[in-house]
Amino acid sequence: MNAPVNTDTPTLIVIAGPTASGKTAAAIQLAQHYNTVIISADSRQFFREMNIGTAKPTDAELAAAPHYFVNSHSVIEPFSVGDFERECLILLDELFKTYKVVILVGGSGLYIKAITEGFDDLPTADPDIRDRLNTEMAIRGIGVLQERLKEVDPEYCKLVDINNPQRVIRALEVYESTGKPFSSYQTQSSKSRPFNVIKLALDMPREILYERINQRVDFMINEGLLQEVELLVPYRHYNALNTVGYTELFDYFEGKISLDAAVDLIKQNTRRFAKRQLTWFRKDKDIIWLDAGDTNLTANMLSAIDNILPHVN
């Protein structure tokens, strides 16, 4: 059940859901209806150097509605969920001086949670612990760290992409620094926000979603993903590039696997990622689920919003 809303305060409309479910198009439809702007909560679309592999909005889509936090940072700049929370709340404060409604779109549940609910203050990372974990991963592989995280923080493992070394190492360094699991720092009760929050999410039958993912990966390869990743090989040690669609092709360029195997792995890992996204979002009882394949999707979104907060404009 969504929390009661105040018609005198501005509203943040969240469009969530798994990768390849059509969130970008849905967000643009809402932004045009409300004559407003879009904030990306996709943790990979922040980075200027990562375009094809992140399914970033096209130039035409970016022109259809103003977007924030797309191409906003470089892969060489550290940018955490805490940084996003701080910068995005400052931005929202400014945007709500002009717009009564703002759209937040993305599949990164942790980043959406940061804006809508907030976190307990996370401890400062110990550089020595991080360096040791990175060295251990380089020598022994990520599997050892994944198993350790499953032992010390099984709850977080159910939700996070454990194939993402950045997430695994961050959770382990918090545990090793404090003796408390990373999941214990996730706020159990929402922090007060000076705006209403309405959460929508897109869903579709699993077999259709998986086929869309497979087709999207093939499209990315045809659009030049291989060339994009090759240019990023010198930067592969940066955390932003430890992600699906890039790590598999880095392995190909290092001669560890064939190109066909790399592409198959991208599809498989993306499908697994989508499953984890759905697990995360289904735990949020405030989310209103909508059929992404419905031809009346935009009307259904507007109806759902109007049921919570009538006459938003």
20 is in an annotated binding site: yes
The owner of tokens 């399914």 is: 55
Amino acid 276 reads R
* Angle (CA) 198 204 208, round 5°: 150
53 is in an annotated binding site: no
25 is in an annotated binding site: no
Query: DSSP assignment, residue 36?
Result: -
24 is in an annotated binding site: yes
- Angle, nearest 10°, between helix axes 165-178 and 142-152? 50
Distance (Å) of CA 209 to CA 162, 216, 291: 21, 10, 12
Helix (H) or strand (E) holding 178: helix 165-178
310 is in an annotated binding site: no
How far apart (Å, rounded) are the C-alpha atoms in residues 114 and 311? 27
Do the Cβ atoms of 245 and 270 come closer than 8 Å?
yes
18 is in an annotated binding site: yes
Helix (H) or strand (E) holding 13: strand 11-16
How far apart (Å, rounded) are the C-alpha atoms in residues 245 and 64? 27
Do the Cβ atoms of 106 and 41 come closer than 8 Å?
yes
Do the Cβ atoms of 24 and 105 come closer than 8 Å?
yes
DSSP string, 104-122: EE-S-HHHHHHHHT--PPP
108 is in an annotated binding site: no
Helix (H) or strand (E) holding 68: strand 67-68
Numbered residues of the known binding site for substrate: 19-24
Numbered residues of the known binding site: 17-24
Numbered residues of the known binding site for ATP: 17-24
